Every structure is written in structure tokens, then in C-alpha cells.
Amino acid sequence: MALTVSPVTIRLAPASDTGIRDGITKLTQPMLIGSAPARSTVSISDAHGGLIGTVKASPSGAWSLARPRSPLSLGPHVLTASAALPNKAPISSAPMWMAVDRTPPTATLSFNATLGSLKIEFSERVNISPTQLMARIRLTIPNVGTFAMSSPVVREVVGGITASQPNPTTYTFQLRVTPRAPGMHMVSLMPTGIVDFAGNQLAHSVSAHSNQ
């Protein structure tokens, strides 16, 4: 016996799925879209908060809710769309899971200039590769200046950098430090482009010092 697929669907609009398209958003009033029988009345409900909006499906069957009637609370939600036509029983979509997350990630830096080791630990998973993260790190070298970790100057003074990600929230960098730059070194992590899976950006820069 073939499965019957409901003609009613619901999902986050791509622009409202602010992170990695995983159903987790930083928006409390995200746009919802879907399909339903043409010209039907579509009611969108939250399992935890009741009715959040009603819209009319287009002649092609597409519908969109620009924003819920009131902001969704932080945390998980289960949403359902139900379509109604005159003299017909309502048809409901499959439940859609989503979550609202507005908490930005935080970072802790551990730096040892003598050993040339730098460890960055985030409070949660962030959507960035070790190579991309390296471009957000600034290294201050005594009597030389401050440079991006990936710059030719750093590679000349430091002698090379190896990047790795030993677990989902930790990144490590090994600098082959030379004796040509003794003194107090500083590393700073710039927040731009460092976001969690909901799209929340690291709130501010973080720095660490170490003497060589």
C-alpha cells in the first residue's frame, strides 16, 4: 500500500534559517513558508503556544507567514500547518521541529609563546574551519607589529603554523617560534564571521598574552 503524502507542508524560509540551514534560527519571529491546497486557509500552530498565524494559500498553493503574531520563546518548537477548504475536513502537515537560539558563543584562549601553542575553546560549536579561523587571529610580535596569523610576516618570524580541530568546540594552532622575537606576545581573536549554528556571532574580541 502506497503512503499518502499530505499536500500541506511547512518550513522555515531560507532567509530565516539563519545558521547552517538546520532549523535553528536566531530570529524570534521567523518567516514560515509552505504549500497547501489552492486558496485554502492555512492555520499555523505551535505545539507549545497555540495558533501563531493564519494566511491564505495562493492559486498555486504556496503560502507564507511573514512573522508569527508574537515572538517565539527561546528553545525548541514544534509547528504544524493545517489547511481548510469549505465543506472539507482540514488537512494537516507533518510536524516541523525548529528552535530559537539567541545566545552568542564565547571563546577562551590559551597561549604559550615559548612552546608556540595556541588553543581556542568555544562554548559551543561554531561554523568555521581551522583555516578560516586562522584569518581571524591577530598575533602581536614584540618590536615587529600586529599581523594576521596567516600573513607572510608572521610566517617569516614565527616559521610556520599548523592548525587542527581535535574536537567540535576546540581549535589548536602550533607555531614554530624562533628566538628572533623575544618578549611579550599577544594573540587576539576577532569576532567577525565566527558564528554558531544559529548564526549568532561571537560577541567581542578575545585576547591572551604570553612571554617568550
Q: What is the CATH number of the domain that holds 24?
A: 2.60.40.10
What is the helix, strand, coil percentage profile of the chain, to 5? Answer: 5, 45, 50
- Expressed as residue numbers, the domain containing 20 is 11-100
For residue 149, the one-letter residue type is M
Whether the model pTM is above 0.75? yes
Residue 196 CB partners (closer than 8 Å, separation 6+): 19, 101, 103, 104, 105, 124, 125, 126, 127
Check whether residue 22 and residue 78 sit in a common domain. Answer: yes
Phi, psi of 187 (to 5 degrees): -115, 140
The pLDDT, as a whole number, for residue 4 is 47
Check whether residue 48 and residue 87 sit in a common domain. Answer: yes
Q: What's the structural domain count of the chain?
A: 2
Assigned domain for 31 exists: yes
Rounded CA-CA distance 164/130 in Å is 6
Check whether residue 146 and residue 72 sit in a common domain. Answer: no
Q: Provide the percentage of residues in the chain whose pLDDT is more than 90.
A: 61
Check whether residue 82 and residue 112 sit in a common domain. Answer: no
Assigned domain for 156 exists: yes
- pLDDT per residue over 135-185, tens digit each? 898 888 777 788 877 677 666 655 567 788 889 999 998 876 554 566 678
Check whether residue 69 and residue 116 sit in a common domain. Answer: no
Check whether residue 96 and residue 111 sit in a common domain. Answer: no
Boundary residue ending a domain (79, 100, 121): 100
Sign (positive or negative) of CA dihedral 20, 25, 31, 37 = positive
Structural element, H or E, at residue 156: helix 152-158
